[in-house]
Structure formats: C-alpha cells, structure tokens
Amino acid sequence: MAKKIYEKIIREIESVEKMQKEYELNMNNYVLEHFWNIGKILQNASQSKEDIDVLQESYDTLAKNYGKFYNHRNFVKFKKFYNDFPNLEILKNNFSWEHIALLLAIHNISKRKYYENLVILNKLSARELNSKIKNHSYEKDEAHINHHI
C-alpha cells in the first residue's frame, strides 16, 4: 500500500513539474515574440527627424503606462533583435531573452553565430553562455579557428 502511495505521489509531482516546464517554455517564447514584434514595429517606423521625436514621445508614454522597461535603450535592443535575428522560429525553444541580450552585444557576425550554435548544440543556459563568452571560447576553439583560415 505504501509503495502505491509513493508511486502516485512521484507521478503526480512529475506531472506538475512537466506542466511547469511547459509553462516556462511558453512564457519564454511569448517574451521573445513580444520583443521581436516591438522591434519590427520600430523598424517599420519612418526614421525622419520628425518621426524620431514622435518615437521619443512614444517611449515616454509607454514608460508611463507600462513601466520603465519601455525606454529608449531597450527599444534599441528590440529593434536590433528584430534586424539581427529575422527567423524568430529558430530562436523559440532554444534561446531566452537573456541569451539574446548576450548575443546582441557581440558585433562580429561569425563570432555571434559560433555562440548561437553552441547554445543550440549544447543546450547552454544564459549563464553558461555568458561564461563561454567571458572565457573567449570562440578565440580558443581550435577547430573553429582552423575552419575559418
């Protein structure tokens, strides 16, 4: 009898944990899509001096209505995110916003691609990716260096 109760508890908790992971994945995908779409809106806005002033007003209004997260600095990131990562579907299920923020800071395209591939192939967390970047894995990877010579 005790063994059946034990097995039931384990099964039910595993089910709850699975639901939690699915929720986190769906939430992450929502966040990425949300920021990517904001970047798309900003990219499609005209860039005349007059329109840039209007954009600044929109940052102020959005910050007032939705919080300080909606600021010029983040909008620059969202627009760069949209421009630098045109295929949103590849990002979903592989990257979090933390991953993207780390990758956006890398201006060398082949270097960024190297780290993108590391994340996908090794299922790196954002913390692990940051560690790889800080430890200069791109520069140290002999196979990568020899491949590009």
Of 85, 118, 137, the position where a domain reaches its end is 85
How far, in Å, are 19, 40, 48, 107 from residue 98 at the CA level? 22, 19, 31, 17
Of 85, 104, 119, the position where a domain reaches its end is 85
Stronger pLDDT, 58 or 134, i.e. the higher one: 134
Among left, alpha and beta (phi > 0; psi -120 to 50; other), residue 45 is beta
Same domain for 64 and 130, yes or no, is no
pLDDT digits (tens, 9 = 90+) for 68-124: 888 888 988 999 999 999 999 989 889 999 999 999 999 999 999 999 999 999 999
What are the percentages of helix, strand and coil residues in the chain, rounded to 5? 80, 0, 20
Same domain for 58 and 13, yes or no, is yes
Same domain for 68 and 134, yes or no, is no
Confidence of residue 142 (pLDDT cuts 50, 70, 90): low
Same domain for 79 and 116, yes or no, is no
Q: How far apart are CA 12 and CA 15, in angstroms?
A: 5
